[in-house]
Structure 1
């Protein structure tokens, strides 16, 4: 499973989804999908823009959780 930590990152930086959409040029509905972890895919260009605007790394945004840890 892949977790998207966009909600935590925006909260820590006191930014809204709309702020991020404006700063990145990514559609607000797409930001919303990432924020609520509804996206099945993440565009790498979007990930690059998000990392640039939030001044973070890919590993700050995405986390891999092995399946054996999910079942516990």
Structure 2
């Protein structure tokens, strides 16, 4: 039962900065095209978002012509040995 309460869930990594850098789009251009505040975009770029907004992610995918898996990556928890 102790293992049940000590579960580690892993984390989500936001890879948006890699895509933006590769495409050479400015943060200002992306914020405008995706209808986001620049401060909100900065949080996504800095991998500093704790609650994801489905509408924001859909707009980013549309503007960047990519899939959600291009932006978000699940990092599994480390396995104890």
TM-score, normalising length: structure 1 = 0.91
CA RMSD of aligned residues (A): 1.4
- What is residue 14 of structure 1 aligned with on the other side? 24
Higher helix fraction (1 or 2): 1
* Whole-angstrom distance in 1 between the partners of 2:25 and 2:17: 9
Partner of 1:3: 13
- Structure whose alpha-carbon radius of gyration is higher: 2
Unmatched segments (≥5 aa) in structure 2: 1-10
Cross-structure match for 1:60: 70
**TM-score (norm. length: structure 2):** 0.81
Q: Partner of 1:59: helix, strand, or coil?
A: helix
1:2: Cα distance to partner?
Answer: 0.4
Q: Which runs of 5+ in 1 are unaligned?
A: none
Name the residue aligned to 1:29. 39
